[in-house]
Amino acid sequence: MVKKSHLARNERIVFSAHSHWKALVAPVLVTAITLALVVYLLLEVVPSPEEQAWQRWTVAAVGALLVLVLGLWPTLVWFTSTDTLTTKRLISQSGVFSRETKNIPVDRVHGVTYRRTVLDRVLGCGTVVVQTAGADSDVELHDVAHVERRVVQIQEIIVDEQGPAPEVPRPGTSSAPPTSDSGTAPPSPTDPTTGSSTPTPPPARDTGDPSPPTGHESR
């Protein structure tokens, strides 16, 4: 678990979780079966503490070793391993005595995908694949619970870090005609027959006379 004192300024935790509980199924089954077998052997196979003392101690020692290695140790590893997403980075921590921490800055993440087996689809978990820049291109987070929701949360943080996309002009929009720095219209077009430029007539002024134009200007 990432402590708040280890976070940077303006950095907050989005989620922090252990891997899926399916990782505990095997250790729990091994522990239950081993304990049941040890009890059966002590009561039925070697029941005499006086005559079969070393056999009983051997059964108890082997049973305890199996429970410790195959039951308690995997449970302790599961409990001490966490995946944490903040607004700045993705943190994966594992290890009991020696801790291993992976920090992936959000701005280095190029994409996030996930894969699931048939059992993972039933249990709602999966493996998250984080594609980053650099030599370590892919980082995999196994047995992530609520994998689809976690992927969406990571993608939202990536989009927020990249900022809004630039505006793209819509097709079909016309641009304004070019003008000079002084705000005047562009030069008149050239007459192809004479090679001289054709002057652009000035705009007509409204004189208030309702009579139609005659085509000759009075002097």
* Beta strand ranges found along the chain (DSSP E): 13-17, 82-86, 89-94, 100-105, 109-115, 125-132, 138-145
For the chain, the distance separating the N- and C-terminal CA atoms, rounded to the nearest angstrom, is 95
In whole angstroms, give the CA distance from residue 189 to residue 134.
57
Per run of 10 residues, the mean pLDDT along the chain (length 219 residues) is 75 89 94 96 90 91 96 94 90 87 86 91 91 72 90 88 62 55 52 52 53 46
Place of tokens 């003392």: 53
What does CATH list as the number for 6-162?
2.30.29.30
pTM greater than the 0.75 cutoff: no
Distances (CA, A) of 30 to 23, 120, 159: 12, 21, 44
Q: For position 51, what pLDDT does the model report?
A: 86
Which residue from 56, 35, 38, 54 is spatially nearest to 46, judged by alpha carbons? 56
Q: For position 139, what pLDDT does the model report?
A: 82
**Three-state DSSP class for 109?**
strand
Q: For position 193, what pLDDT does the model report?
A: 53
Q: Residue 154 has which token pair? A: 């990571």
Extents of the domains making up the chain: 6-162
148-153 long-range CB contacts below 8 Å, 24 or more apart?
148/114, 150/15, 150/85, 151/112, 151/113, 151/114, 153/14, 153/15, 153/85
Q: For position 215, what pLDDT does the model report?
A: 46
